[in-house]
Structure 1
Amino acid sequence: MSAVIVGNPKPESRTLDAALQVHKALTGTDATDIIDLATFGPGLLGWGDPQVADAVSRVQAADVVVVASPTFKATYSGLLKLFLDQFSTGDGMRDVVAVPLMLGAGPGHALAPDLLLKPVLVELGATTPAPGLYLRDSSYSDDGVLEAYAERWGDVIARVRRTEVAR
């Protein structure tokens, strides 16, 4: 099972499209679970919402997850933060291979996936074997960056994914 988590406050956003493309490029398959956080509403603001708890369980059962956000104020979205807060520290994403993905308007925040999102995923217990990926929201579908990333890191992610599944 695999998933994409999208923290864009706009449903069916370019962030979602990019996450689905990254997932397919890395795994060769479509994601089996799409978690578009914009559709969750106020359930993300507290604890115990059944829809949010179900999404957390589905992420925990996934072997690979692309975690995507637009770049807001030089970091990932508050919506994604609210969702990630639902996972326990240390083992909330144990055995999950995570790929941090962020989209932005220009190259100024290209390190944000590695500096800001990846450490949170690691803190939650995810395995992040590749660098985070930053894509320009205006050109991700045709600038070759996504394909080059998948060519360089796809086999690594696949090997780690098989190892995590075998545990």
Structure 2
Amino acid sequence: MSIVVVAGNPKPGSRTLDAGTRLATALTGREPDHVIDVIDLGAGLLGWGDEDVAAAVSTVAEADLVVFASPTFKATYTGVLKLFLDQFATGDGLRDVVAVPLMLGAGPAHALAPDLLLKPVLVELGATTPAPGLYLLDSTYTTDTAIADYAERWSPVLAAATRTEAA
């Protein structure tokens, strides 16, 4: 099973990247195979045909499980993540990919953002999203049990979905 983390934070090496990696590891019991810090793709995201962007898109499209992580900016996911997601074909760009939307924020006001804003885009691109998204407080995700609780509840569902998609 191929596991990928996509972090759409304008800051390289962000808490978003860390949280996504922690979640992927908790869900699967091992480190992700690939971690894509979208901001590292730079100006290649602004057009079509960039080799590094195409390689990242291919890595994600061929994965079994992908955690898509974003901080909450202006009550939604970031523009840099949107630029990356725009590189995928509508309807089947994420076909056979099981996706987990993850968002971090400063407070609980945007707790529904992963399900209301990020999940529909992933589904539009063809991803399977059998579990609810996860919203984490960026100030406590390393010390609270939110990731472990989510993994305990949803990893069996996600594992079953990845087996189904692979079949």
**CA-to-aligned-CA distance 1:101-132 (integer Å, 9 cap, x gap):** 00000000000000000000000000000000
Q: Could you tell me which residue of structure 1 aligns to residue 160 of structure 2? A: 159
Q: Could you tell me which residue of structure 1 aligns to residue 88 of structure 2? A: 87
SS state at 1:40 partner: helix
**TM-score normalised by length of structure 1:** 0.98
Unpaired stretches in structure 1, ≥5 consecutive residues? none
Task: Give the superposed CA RMSD.
Answer: 0.5
Alpha-carbon distance in 1 for matches of 2:100, 2:142: 18
- Are 2:17 and 1:31 equivalent residues in the alignment? no
List, as ranges, runs of 4+ consecutive aligned residues in structure 1 with deviation greater than 3 Å: none
Q: Alpha-carbon deviation of 1:137?
A: 0.3
The 5 A counterparts of 1:17-96 are 17-96=18-97
Q: Could you tell me which residue of structure 2 aligns to residue 121 of structure 1? A: 122
Q: Could you tell me which residue of structure 2 aligns to residue 111 of structure 1? A: 112
Alpha-carbon distance in 2 for matches of 1:160, 1:39: 30
**TM-score normalised by length of structure 2:** 0.98
Q: Alpha-carbon deviation of 1:136?
A: 0.3
Letter in 1 for 2:124: E
SS state at 1:19 partner: helix
Alpha-carbon distance in 2 for matches of 1:161, 1:30: 17
Alpha-carbon distance in 2 for matches of 1:17, 1:30: 12
Percent identical pairs in the alignment equals: 69
The 5 A counterparts of 1:136-151 are 136-151=137-152
Q: Could you tell me which residue of structure 1 aligns to residue 15 of structure 2? A: 14
Q: Alpha-carbon deviation of 1:141?
A: 1.2
Q: How many residues align?
A: 166
Q: Alpha-carbon deviation of 1:139?
A: 0.3
Q: Alpha-carbon deviation of 1:38?
A: 1.3
**CA-to-aligned-CA distance 1:33-87 (integer Å, 9 cap, x gap):** 1110111110000111110011001101100000000000000000000000000
Letter in 1 for 2:7: V
Alpha-carbon distance in 2 for matches of 1:119, 1:15: 20
SS state at 2:32 partner: coil
